[in-house]
Structure 1
Amino acid sequence: MSTTKATHAADVVPSRILLYGATGAGKTTAAVRLGEKLGLPVVLADEIGWLPQWVSRPVDEQIALVDDAVARDAWVFDSAYSSWRERVRPRADLIIGLDFPRWLSLLRVTRRAVRRVITREELFAGNRETWRQLLSRDSIVVWHFRSWRRKRRAMRAWAADATGPPVLLFRRPRDLERWIDAQPAHDQRDAT
């Protein structure tokens, strides 16, 4: 874990958290786990961004949904699309950057996509991944290659920016898991 601004972030139990990282890093899984542990509502970026049949929700509608969510006192976003990221980031009490090695997130996204194709797992808005999508130029695996470097630069820049929200950069999944485990459960916080 990077210690940039971490002292403040480690001492305060946040109520508005943005997870950020490469496609396949495990942002959604971590966000759901963190939301359950802290008793915070989880906002899934792909549920905002996509309609049925893999139709992208119009950006103005995405922004309206995001603005409604960030106006609340508590939330965990599992990511933020570039078209509305700056509506979420400044409102966050804490940003958790999953700054894992490229090979790890690539392995995870590929394995997850293949599993979803085989099992026909239903995703947000009733969408399902297909072999055709997985092998296309619009594949989630191709998106990983297109976006990985940009996302890494963004989280590292946020961590170096003393004027923004505190950022915890995790370089290994086990460090993220330890950090989540160390957070007080919402029922324990309420009792104090």
Structure 2
Amino acid sequence: MQKILVIGSPGSGKSTFAVQLSKQLDLPVIHLDKLNWIDDKNTLNPAGFDELLEKVLKKDSWIIDGNYSRTLSKRLDYADTVIWLDLPKTICIYRIWKRYIKGKMTKSRTYGNPIKLEPGFVKFVWNFNHTNRPIILKILNENKHKKVIILKNQFEIEEIKKQF
């Protein structure tokens, strides 16, 4: 495994998992949010994002974490493995609230750690498995030659880490 995609709902633990996996496998980690966001309010236009992503994809090895379903098929063209953190929505909602509160208390920010929780974002996370899972499944089914690991809970996540 030299080119790994880590996908899943916001709050599923993609970034944390990708960083841990990066340390274990000695592969660089790329966070799509860091590529896309210019600052707290502005993102790159799609063409600018696609240009940066293309440069990353052509590298010899990487772990890329993030959803960005618009570019999932393109990323799959280059990836050899997909790890899908397919966790229950209640866990994801809990984690985004926890991350938000922790950020407020410590006055620290990380990517994916919003200054405020927009109702639209919370609704997106709540509905992610209903609206986005079918899209992800369709794209993955179109790429059956890829190795896909689907992890449904924290126990499975911890177990897979032991295998790397």
TM range (shorter): 0.7 to 0.9
Partner in structure 2 of residue 24 of structure 1: 11
Partner Cα distance (2:21, 2:92) in 1: 19
Partner in structure 1 of residue 90 of structure 2: 103
Give 1:137's aligned amino acid. Answer: P
1:129 to 110, 114, 120: 114
2:160 to 179, 184, 188: 179
> 1:158, CA displacement in angstroms?
4.8
Change (3 A) 1:172 1:158: farther
Partner Cα distance (1:128, 1:95) in 2: 24
TM normalised by structure 1 equals 0.76
Partner in structure 2 of residue 7 of structure 1: none
Q: Give the secondary structure class of the aligned counterpart of 2:104.
A: helix
Q: After TM superposition, where is structure 1 displaced by more than 6 Å over at least 4 residues in a row?
A: none
Partner in structure 2 of residue 151 of structure 1: 132
Partner in structure 2 of residue 81 of structure 1: 68
Q: Give the secondary structure class of the aligned counterpart of 1:163.
A: coil
- 1:53 and 2:36 aligned: no
Unaligned runs of 5+ in 1: 1-13, 184-192
Give 2:110's aligned amino acid. Answer: L
TM normalised by structure 2 equals 0.88
RMSD of equivalent CA atoms: 2.1
Q: Give the secondary structure class of the aligned counterpart of 2:34.
A: helix
Give CA deviations for 1:56-85 in whole Å, capped at 9, x if unaligned: 111111111110001011100112312322
> 1:123, CA displacement in angstroms?
2.5
Partner Cα distance (1:137, 1:19) in 2: 25
Q: Give the secondary structure class of the aligned counterpart of 1:23.
A: coil
> 1:147, CA displacement in angstroms?
3.0
Partner Cα distance (1:60, 1:23) in 2: 23
Partner Cα distance (2:103, 2:24) in 1: 26
Partner Cα distance (1:174, 1:54) in 2: 35
Q: Give the secondary structure class of the aligned counterpart of 1:65.
A: helix
Q: Give the secondary structure class of the aligned counterpart of 1:73.
A: coil
> 1:16, CA displacement in angstroms?
0.4
Partner Cα distance (1:83, 1:162) in 2: 15
Give 2:123's aligned amino acid. Answer: V
- 1:35 and 2:16 aligned: no
> 1:128, CA displacement in angstroms?
6.5
Q: Which has the larger Rg?
A: 1
> 1:163, CA displacement in angstroms?
3.1
Change (3 A) 1:47 1:75: same
Q: How many residues in Structure 1 have an aligned counterpart in Structure 2?
A: 164
Partner in structure 2 of residue 66 of structure 1: 53
Partner Cα distance (2:42, 2:88) in 1: 31
